[in-house]
Chain A
Amino acid sequence: MHSPNVPVGLAIALRFITLVASLGLVAPVQGGEDAQSILATSDEVRNPPRPFAVTVRLLEYRNSKLSDENTLTVYSKADNASGQYRTLVRFVAPERDANKLMLKNGNDLWFYDPSSQASIRLSPQQRLLGQASNGDVVTVNLAKDYKAELLAEEDTADGERVMRRAYKLGLSAVSGDVTYHRVEMWVDAATSRPLKARFFSESGHLLKSAYYRKYQAQLGRERPTEVVIIDGLDPSWVTVLRYSDYAWRDVPDAWLQRDYLPRFKPG
């Protein structure tokens, strides 16, 4: 799709770049880089090392118009055994969804509505379709679920449109339980910051692209406070995730199970 917002000259330049890249004139891959370590270090930039809470505001655009808005609070904690994040998502706004909860513990997914006191198991497909699938994008420990391969070291523009020297990593799922079967990720070679990523389905379809941007000092280091997500099938569907109110927050293991959901009431 070619939006009228894109200057024609820029589009021409982009086509030029694509052509040049296809001729193999991109920077060669540096030898000896450990792709898995690059990915692990990049995970550390996104994922605080201790349990924490963060407020996520989701602004959803369709055809350049703001079409929906949600606010969630995410409570997250890494599992000692798997290293993967377990999250409790509490819906804050809009009013009709306020105080509903979603628990994600691997593929153990539960939705809780305080009005009906019902805890309903969700399939990964249901989560993927809802906005909650975007809510936990920030806490995915990719290095635990994917085998990384260094595809290139190249200059790429980040989410602020600033050129950065980056490692382009190809990630292949090592477990069948992951949401995205293949990921391409660009990691800043100097700072290990994730710059952007593309997430693919098992059949190879692009599900979404994500730009990690607006880095700020949060919980001990510079972390992205905004992620721009573009739907793979419908690029006019854009979701902006804004992260605020980062705070260290103890998340006891007992919270992270279905039977605690009716009890969850953060003070």
Chain B
Amino acid sequence: MTMRKIIAALAVALGFSLPTQAATDAPAGPPDDLDALSLADKAPSNSAAPARPWRLFLEGAIGRGKLRASGDNFSLYRGSIDFRYDEHVAQQLRLVFSDRLDGVASDGVPPGDNVNTLREAYLSWARAEDQIFDLGRVNIRNGAAMGFNPTDWFKANALRSIVDPDPAVLRENRQGTVVLQAQQLWSNASLTATVSPRLARSADSATFALNAGATNPSNRYLVAGSYKLSDKFTPQVLVFGGNDDPFQVGLNLSGLVGDAVVAFGEFSAGKGRSLVAQALNQPEANSNQQRASVGLTYTTGFNLSLTAEAEYNSAAPNGDQWNLLPAASQQQVLVTAQALQDLPTRSQWFLYASWQDALVQRLEVSGFLRQDMQTSSRALWLEGRYAWERAELALQWLAYAGSSGTVYYAVPQQHALQLILRIYL
């Protein structure tokens, strides 16, 4: 630094006014601020390309695991193509198309299969900015909770291929429902009415089947309304029913508790059969059933979000009822609960953690624990995922633990490890 500049800086500090030009190189602040400004001066000036209307990625996975019954090891190889397109095709007309093809080779349980899932294919017409109509297969998803969503009625039989047990991925990779849907919006409220017609009676497991029987097995309706009572509180009320589905009412709530905690609650009530009766195809009259998930998400100052969720399903067996079931029936209840995405036993705890930029930037570590409170068994899943600009590498570990006869002991796999590479094209 020249003597003139030092004098200029001193003069400024003393309150003298110098011509702007003379002080051009004067300090802007502490040394760190000057570093930052110099860095910004050199930052690249090219602009990012606008977002594309489509997203396409390829995913490959290899895995190893152990089967519970035989104690044998199994291997798994998977290749997937995932495509999503979302664009205006006319002034007020939007086309959404979303599809995924999974090719799995495995000597485990279940064995590998090639499955294409047409997740969404619909047209959306905005008659006005606050009035919208949809026609086609739509992934209709409701629910404030994370691990179990009692008001997400269209989740039943929507999973064709389970490649990842993360609840967020299960919501993404499922097959939508063919609907005619209308939504009216106001500045503080919204009302959505949905009609889902019966298109087929049974599911179709062929690789490229549209599989309408899985998610359009009967005529159904859903009406959902929300009203913003305050900045921190917007409850949602839902009603659902159909030819084969008794009337259900649902409620979604979420709110802030301080700066770092979000509290949420999700409830549904209505007539229905027990899970055991559904799984074993037993005759049973409908009775009052309630389902609920309540929880908290707390975010720490170092980017770790922790969720604790208590889950309840009156239609599912309690511990004594579960223990009375033969092993084959327990398996059947578990398979049915998985297909319906329902809670397999009366009550569970779901704990979820997600740590972004964990120790190193772009590394996300996440995991969940499902603790069954009726039979003291658990499912544990951990994932480390590192992201580059156009690729992600993930390592996942899944384990089911519990003593013989418990819920998660009934899962065929004991544990599995998977390495996954995703490349965005």
Contacts and interface: CB of A to CB of B under 8 A. Distances in A.
A-B complex is real: yes
Interface string B50-61: 111001000000
A157 B32 CA distance: 14
A98 B171 contact: no
A165 B256 CA distance: 42
B84 A115 contact: yes
A62 B40 contact: no
A7 B35 contact: no
Contact of A116 (B45, B88, B141): B141
B24 A211 contact: no
A235 B29 CA distance: 13
A145 interface: no
B192 A161 contact: no
B44 A59 contact: yes
Interface residues of A, number: 92
A95 interface: yes
Nearest to B5: A13
B72 to A, nearest CB: 34
B424 interface: yes
A17 B27 contact: yes
Given A1-B32, A105-B231, A265 B88 contact: yes
Contacts of A113: 168, 172
Interface in A241-256: 242, 244, 252-256
A68 interface: yes
Q: Which of B9, B24, B144 has the most CB of A within 10 A?
A: B9
B283 interface: no
Nearest to A25: B14
B172 to A, nearest CB: 4
B27 A125 contact: no
Contacts of B139: 117
A91 B17 CA distance: 45
Contact of B36 (A126, A235, A256, A259): A235
Nearest to A161: B28
A57 interface: yes
Contact of A117 (B29, B141, B234, B303): B141
Nearest to B38: A5
Nearest to A129: B303
B31 interface: yes
17 contacts: A13-B5, A17-B12, A25-B15, A26-B13, A27-B15, A92-B51, A108-B232, A115-B172, A123-B259, A129-B299, A162-B24, A211-B36, A230-B32, A254-B129, A257-B189, A263-B126, A265-B94
